[in-house]
């Protein structure tokens, strides 16, 4: 999951919404840019 996220967002992500958690959340945290917003 994390490798695929880096491919589609090589500069990182700014906003992320999740209501499940798990592997997706961990990948998003790893790809988050400085001052990213998570909900």
Query: What's the domain count of the chain?
Result: 1
In tens, the pLDDT along 1-39 reads 889 998 999 999 999 999 999 999 999 999 999 999 999
State residue 1's pLDDT score: 87
Strands (E), 1-39: 13-16, 32-38
| Tokens read off for 4 | 């695929």
| Tokens read off for 6 | 């880096």
Q: Quote the pTM value.
A: 0.81
Please give the residue range of the domain that contains residue 31.
1-38
Burial string for 1-39 (b: 16+ CB within 10 Å, else e) reads eeeebeeeeeeebeebeeeeeeeeeebbeebbeeeeeee
Q: Under the phi-then-psi rule, with left for phi > 0, alpha for psi from -120 to 50, and beta for the rest, what region is 37?
A: beta
State residue 30's pLDDT score: 94
């Amino acid at each position: 999951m994390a490798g695929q996220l880096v491919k589609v967002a090589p500069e990182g992500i700014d906003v992320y919404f999740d209501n499940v958690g798990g592997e997706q959340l961990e990948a998003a945290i790893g790809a988050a840019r400085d001052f990213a917003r998570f909900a």
